[in-house]
Amino acid sequence: MQYESGDDKYVEDRRGQGIVGRGLPIGLGGLIVLALLSWATGTDFLSLLGPAVQQGAPSDTTTGPVQSSPEEDQLKSLAGAVMTDLNEQWERLLPGRYRPTSLVLFRDQVNAEGCGLAQSASGPFYCPGAQKVYLDLGFYQELKERFGAPGDFAQAYVIAHEVGHHVQTLLGIESQVRRAQQQRPELENELSVRLELQADCYAGVWGHIASQPGRFQRERKPELEPGDAEEGLRAAASIGDDRMQKMGGGVVTPERFTHGSSAQRVTWLKRGLESGSVDACDTFGTK
């Protein structure tokens, strides 16, 4: 992916902050172990941590200098370029309805305003209360090494997916789904899958825009290069619920999906990439 570095207008770097309070920072490796145990046995070992985002967990914050490697600096630079472009393009796609969001970088755990204490184990996430995206850059190493999905567009896809949840919040889709889940508990997982697949499609819509030839030369905005789209599709396939369950050595149980199968995630990301249309992302109107 071609992009211009140095733009961190929509990035809050909290990697120098430490959290003292409830919740044990176990890192992404710990998440994998607990997730595999959960899927293999049917017991929710992740609940031993408390919620992935712990509502109202008391904590104190300590602040120190940001320790960053050259690799992390490069990841931050890409994230800044992607966040700026995502905000600009969604403002264009949803004039008068879109409000910019920010990306919060953290290590181990973070106090997400409106959502409470969250750990790296939760992976990248969007907090509707704060209307911000949260990311531990260590996730990208996991994406590359454990899930076989390297590449800068794979990294950009992760951010674009979470910004897709921001779009859902602004459009009222997220709150409608939460109400429906409360009213119909038996549909909770199915509705969660549809919400996640729509965020995949929204990520693809941005990818379609970023794939326009000459974009970087004309506007200095991120532009996909040959092979980038495949990186994103590979990343979507690598984190499908069915693949994750297989990694745990268990049986694939679709009724326990929360994000969609690998095939579903690829399908909806591809739909956004090919169409570039928000209207093409109606996962709730399809069977």
Query: Does 4 map to a domain?
Result: no
Query: pLDDT tens across 121-142, in order?
Result: 778 999 999 999 999 999 898 8
Q: Express each pLDDT in 186-207 by its tens digit.
A: 999 999 999 999 999 999 999 9
Task: Give the pLDDT score at 19.
Answer: 61
Q: Does 61 reside within a domain?
A: yes
Three-state SS for the chain is: CECCCCCCCCEEECCCEEEEECCCCCHHHHHHHHHHHHHHHCCCHHHHHCCCEECCCCEEEEECCCCCCHHHHHHHHHHHHHHHHHHHHHHHHCCCCCCCCEEEECCCEEEECCCEEEEHHHCCEEECCCCEEEECCHHHHHHHHCCCCCCHHHHHHHHHHHHHHHHHHHCCHHHHHHHHHHHCHHHHHHHHHHHHHHHHHHHHHHHHHHCCCCHHHHHCCCECCCCHHHHHHHHHHHCCHHHHHHHCCCCCCHHHCCCCCHHHHHHHHHHHHHHCCHHHHCHHHCC
* Residues 222-267: tens digit of each pLDDT: 999 999 999 999 999 888 888 878 877 777 888 888 899 999 999 9
Q: Is residue 130 included in any domain, yes or no?
A: yes
Indicate whether 15 belongs to any domain.
yes
In this prediction the pTM is: 0.85
The answer to whether residue 3 sits within a structural domain is no
144/27: higher pLDDT: 144
Residue 256 lies in a domain: yes
Containing structural domain, residue 208 = 11-285
- Whether residue 6 is contained in a domain is answered as no
Q: Is residue 266 part of a domain?
A: yes
Please state the domain count of the chain.
Answer: 1
